[in-house]
Structure 1
């Protein structure tokens, strides 16, 4: 299914790339995860109905809508851009007009990722290179502090992972690599077209 067709199915608009008007050393451009990649990921990644996914730098919300519609699990998108947050909320209004009844929740919050207070129910964290390694470290530290206060298994899912993110998780945290999921149609041309899933037990 093409990107436009999948957006149409969910009654949302998430296509396109958005560069920041004023370039930032800490925040990267907006680009949604390809639907093809999400399909491959969730063919191989095990999840439970009780999981809660958090997408840091969610943009217009594609990951959250996909999760809620196809997996029926709760999801939260965190976005610092006012314009992208507004677009995610407009998408949410349209999406909910036809969304099937579900115990799973879907919501969005506008804030800086490092300012998000990790909920004890949050246990799956998604990153598509939204920001610098310095901010990533702060967010991971927030996750680990939450786990210390409320012990549980948590996963960090990286798409198109940067060497900085991988090195930090492997060398400076207790997360361990659980699985690598490659996107067959894209990986041959670009070895970054993959997911890396790290787990803290």
Structure 2
């Protein structure tokens, strides 16, 4: 299924790349995870309806909409950019016209990622290179602080991971690599086209 066809199925608009007019050293451009990649991920990565995802740097919300629609899992999108947040909220309005039957929640928060309060039941955290390693470290520290206060198993899912992200996870945290998921059609051309899934028990 083509990108625009999948968007149409969910009644959302998430295509395209958005470069920032005033580029920051800490925040990367907007680009949604390819649907092909999400299909490959969830062919191999199992989650349950009791899991709760947080997508940091969610942009227009493709990842939260995907897991909510296909997996019936609760999801929160965290986005600091006002324009992208507004587009995610507009997508949510359209999406919910057909998704009212779902018991899982889906919501968006406009806030800097490092300022987001991790909820005690949130246990799956998604990153597609949204920001610098400095901000990533702060967010991971927040996740670990939440786990210390409310013990639970948590997963961090990295798509197209940078070496800085990988090195930090493997050298500076107690997370362990659970699984690597490659996207067969894309991995041959670019070995960064993969997911790295880390778990903290």
Give the TM-score category using the shorter length.
over 0.9
1:48 shift after superposition: 1.1
Instruction: Tell me what 2:96 maps to.
Output: 96
- Secondary structure of residue in 2 paired with 1:122: coil
Unaligned runs of 5+ in 1: none
Instruction: Tell me what 1:56 maps to.
Output: 56
CA distance in 2, matches of 1:47, 1:97: 25
CA distance in 1, matches of 2:140, 2:122: 13
- Secondary structure of residue in 1 paired with 2:161: coil
Instruction: Tell me what 1:160 maps to.
Output: 160
Instruction: Tell me what 1:47 maps to.
Output: 47
1:70 shift after superposition: 0.1
Instruction: Tell me what 1:25 maps to.
Output: 25
Instruction: Tell me what 1:200 maps to.
Output: 200
Instruction: Tell me what 2:136 maps to.
Output: 136
Counterparts of 1:105-144 in structure 2, within 5 Å, are 105-144=105-144
CA distance in 2, matches of 1:35, 1:47: 18
TM-score by length of 1: 0.99
- Secondary structure of residue in 2 paired with 1:168: helix
- Secondary structure of residue in 1 paired with 2:89: helix
CA distance in 2, matches of 1:11, 1:200: 35
Deviation by residue 1:26-54 (Cα, 9 ceiling, x = unmatched): 00000000000000000000111100000
Instruction: Tell me what 2:190 maps to.
Output: 190
Deviation by residue 1:121-161 (Cα, 9 ceiling, x = unmatched): 10000000000000000000000000000000000000000
1:7 shift after superposition: 0.2
**Alignment root-mean-square deviation, CA:** 0.5
CA distance in 2, matches of 1:4, 1:173: 38
TM-score by length of 2: 0.99
Aligned residues: 201
1:64 shift after superposition: 0.4
1:100 shift after superposition: 4.7
Q: Would you identify which runs of 4 or more consecutive aligned residues in structure 1 move more than 2 Å?
A: none
